[in-house]
């Protein structure tokens, strides 16, 4: 397949605080370097884009020396935590902003959906904005006429199509914007997390359309999302960004798995060493089974799982409870559980709680626990997503007869009887 997008040594630097060099002559020298496509002579050595640390310089690299190629017809998921550089990359590809260094080669027209209402004029009607977006993409009126009815039908805003879009809700905005971007004749479709604005039914419809334009029309799709299930469902490959640097490129399943595992183990080890300690509580430990396995413990599917929680409650313990949410590899919640359902209450001072999951309850796979400290059964005073992870492996009873992963996340052992 021919190459649709080729990026070489792409970097984007942002200056924090006041913009400018301080003198007109230096500003002109910087401008002239840009015209000649030379490096900015006043650009200081900057830092990686790590939002968790205090900047020591006034230059931050949102992207730093990234290179990759995307083939025509590929559907590529771009994932990473907030601040990883995903949106900056898409804005550069969409020519919303220019790179500081590096080159981009894209074959064909690009249709982008980066933010709600991007490219829409608020005073124009929905119908007029369809023609405006088409013109921006370089399409002729006859081409847009041919697609108009299909766009309006897909968007589901036919009743308001001749109403100025400034009166649209955010959901209506994104419905029409996606319909325009997906149906106009562009070779590359770029979609940011903006789909999260739509309802579940429309998101499903959008994912189906993106699959269709890739598989049936041979168009290239770049998709940014925090919904890992959507990334795995839609994308054949993925790019994992961290602090503006490419951490991994590969198939979508491997990329999602690497993203979810991340470096949570090292981060959470530090947190248990004193980070989970404030005026309300001190969370000392969450571990599995009597021997205190922590962080990515591997457990047998046919053994009872014992979750130990050791926590100091410093005040108002009678008003508080601990709740866990069990999530799968895609970050989707499976179920919620709390000690309060067994009539156990927290007390001021040290608490050691143990929760037992029955043998054979969870299917083979990787799971993540999110920790919540709830006050008065309604207010979350502390939340830590994916505080600890563990894996369930094939049990001894299954060795030799295991035929692969069965569907579902729980696999309870029920009582059976044979009546003759």
Q: What is the DSSP string of 188-205?
A: EEEE-GGGGGS-HHHHHH
Distance, CA of 365 to CA of 330 (rounded, Å): 11
Please report where in the chains the tokens 């562009």 appear, as a residue: 186
Three-state DSSP class for residue 304: coil
Q: Is the CB of residue 280 less than 8 Å from the CB of residue 372?
A: no
Terminal-residue alpha carbon distance, the chain: 63
* Mean local confidence (pLDDT), 390-401: 63
pLDDT value, residue 18: 47
pLDDT of 51 above 50: no
pLDDT value, residue 96: 83
CATH number of the domain that residue 332 is part of: 2.70.50.60
pLDDT value, residue 215: 84
pLDDT of 266 above 70: no
Q: Is the CB of residue 308 less than 8 Å from the CB of residue 291?
A: no
* Mean local confidence (pLDDT), 149-164: 91
pLDDT value, residue 171: 80
Same domain for 237 and 278, yes or no, is no
Three-state DSSP class for residue 51: coil
Q: Beta strands 379-393 and 333-338: pairing type?
A: unpaired
Cβ neighbours of 35 (radius 10 Å): 7
pLDDT value, residue 59: 73
pLDDT value, residue 47: 45
Distance, CA of 330 to CA of 255 (rounded, Å): 11
Q: How many domains does the chain have?
A: 2
Distance, CA of 308 to CA of 350 (rounded, Å): 13
For 3-24, the pLDDT digits (tens) are 999 999 998 887 655 455 456 6
Cβ neighbours of 268 (radius 10 Å): 20
Same domain for 160 and 284, yes or no, is no
Name every residue whose Cβ is closer than 8 Å to that of residue 312 and which is 6 or more positions away in sequence. Answer: 281, 282, 284, 349, 350, 351
Residue 224 banded pLDDT, cuts 50, 70, 90: confident
Cβ neighbours of 66 (radius 10 Å): 20
Same domain for 97 and 223, yes or no, is yes
Here the tokens at position 414 are 């029920």
CATH number of the domain that residue 234 is part of: 3.40.50.300
Q: Is residue 188 situated within a structural domain?
A: yes
Q: Is residue 336 situated within a structural domain?
A: yes
| Angle, vertex CA 150, rays to CA 145 and CA 151, nearest 5 | 85
pLDDT value, residue 180: 84
3-state helix, strand, coil in the chain (%, to 5): 30, 35, 35
Here the tokens at position 391 are 């894996």
Distance, CA of 11 to CA of 94 (rounded, Å): 15
Name every residue whose Cβ is closer than 8 Å to that of residue 267 and which is 6 or more positions away in sequence. Answer: none
Which range, 161-170, 293-302, 399-408, is most confident? 161-170
Which range, 42-46, 257-261, 278-282, 410-414, is most confident? 278-282
Q: Is residue 59 situated within a structural domain?
A: no
What angle in degrees, to the nearest 10, is found between the helix axes of 170-183 and 200-215?
10
* Mean local confidence (pLDDT), 129-151: 86
Please report where in the chains the tokens 């979750």 appear, as a residue: 307
Same domain for 196 and 287, yes or no, is no
pLDDT value, residue 314: 93
Percent of the chain beyond pLDDT 70? Answer: 79
CA dihedral 64, 111, 119, 179 (to 10 degrees): -130
Domain that holds residue 354: 264-398
Q: Which residue has better confidence, 383 or 55?
A: 383
Q: Out of 228, 261, 294, pick the residue that ends a domain.
A: 261
pLDDT of 397 above 60: no
Three-state DSSP class for residue 52: coil
CA dihedral 48, 50, 56, 59 (to 10 degrees): 50
pLDDT value, residue 53: 47
pLDDT of 265 above 70: no
* Mean local confidence (pLDDT), 153-167: 91
Residue 44 banded pLDDT, cuts 50, 70, 90: low
Would you give the distance in Å from CA 40 to the centre of its chain?
33
Residue 61 banded pLDDT, cuts 50, 70, 90: confident
pLDDT value, residue 399: 42
Q: Is residue 65 situated within a structural domain?
A: no
Q: Out of 226, 261, 296, pick the residue that ends a domain.
A: 261
pLDDT value, residue 420: 75
Residue 43 banded pLDDT, cuts 50, 70, 90: low
pLDDT value, residue 24: 64
For 161-188, the pLDDT digits (tens) are 999 998 988 788 888 888 888 887 788 9
Q: What are phi and psi of 93, to 5 degrees?
A: -60, -35
pLDDT of 402 above 80: no
Q: Is the CB of residue 391 less than 8 Å from the CB of residue 296?
A: yes
Q: Is residue 117 situated within a structural domain?
A: yes
- The per-residue pLDDT of the chain, averaged, comes to 81
Q: Is residue 112 situated within a structural domain?
A: yes
For 323-345, the pLDDT digits (tens) are 999 988 777 889 999 999 899 99
Distance, CA of 111 to CA of 281 (rounded, Å): 50
* Mean local confidence (pLDDT), 270-274: 69
Q: What are phi and psi of 264, to 5 degrees?
A: -65, -30
For 199-216, the pLDDT digits (tens) are 667 777 888 888 888 888
pLDDT value, residue 31: 66
Distance, CA of 363 to CA of 415 (rounded, Å): 18
């Amino acid at each position: 397949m021919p190459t649709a997008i080729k990026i070489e040594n792409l970097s984007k630097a942002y200056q924090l605080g006041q913009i400018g060099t301080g003198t007109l002559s230096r500003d002109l020298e910087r401008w002239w370097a840009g015209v000649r496509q030379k490096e900015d002579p006043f650009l200081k050595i900057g830092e990686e884009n790590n939002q968790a640390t205090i900047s020591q310089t006034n230059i931050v690299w949102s992207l730093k020396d990234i290179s990759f190629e995307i083939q025509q017809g590929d559907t590529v998921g771009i994932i990473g935590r907030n601040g990883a550089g995903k949106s900056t990359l898409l804005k550069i590809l969409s020519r919303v902003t220019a790179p500081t260094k590096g080159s981009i080669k894209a074959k064909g027209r690009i249709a982008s959906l980066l933010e709600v209402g991007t490219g829409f004029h608020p005073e124009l009607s929905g119908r007029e904005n369809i023609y405006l977006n088409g013109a921006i993409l370089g399409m002729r009126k006859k081409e847009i006429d041919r697609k108009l009815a299909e766009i309006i039908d897909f968007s589901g805003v036919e009743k308001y199509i001749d109403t100025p879009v400034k009166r649209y809700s955010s959901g209506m905005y994104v419905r029409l914007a996606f319909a325009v971007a997906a149906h106009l004749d562009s070779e590359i479709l770029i979609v940011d997390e903006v789909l999260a604005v739509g309802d579940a039914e429309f998101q499903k419809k959008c994912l189906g359309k993106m699959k269709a334009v890739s598989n049936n029309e041979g168009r290239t799709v770049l998709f940014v999302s925090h919904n890992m299930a959507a990334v795995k469902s839609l994308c054949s490959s993925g790019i994992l960004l961290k602090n503006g640097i490419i951490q991994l490129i590969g198939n979508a399943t491997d990329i999602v798995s690497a993203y979810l595992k991340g470096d949570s183990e090292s981060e959470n080890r530090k947190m248990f060493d004193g980070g989970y300690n404030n005026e309300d509580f001190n969370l000392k430990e969450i571990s599995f089974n009597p021997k205190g396995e922590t962080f990515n413990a591997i457990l047998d599917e046919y053994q009872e799982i014992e979750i130990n929680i050791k926590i100091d409650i410093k005040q108002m313990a009678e008003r508080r409870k601990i709740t866990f949410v069990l999530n799968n590899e895609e970050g989707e919640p499976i179920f919620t559980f709390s000690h309060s359902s067994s009539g156990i209450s927290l007390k001021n001072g040290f608490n050691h709680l143990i929760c037992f999951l029955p043998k054979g309850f969870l299917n083979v796979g990787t799971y993540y626990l999110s920790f919540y400290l709830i006050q008065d059964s309604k207010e979350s005073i502390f939340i830590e997503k994916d505080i600890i992870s563990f894996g369930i492996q094939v049990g001894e009873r299954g060795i030799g007869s295991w035929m692969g992963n069965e569907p579902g996340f729980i696999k309870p052992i029920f009582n059976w009887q044979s009546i003759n």
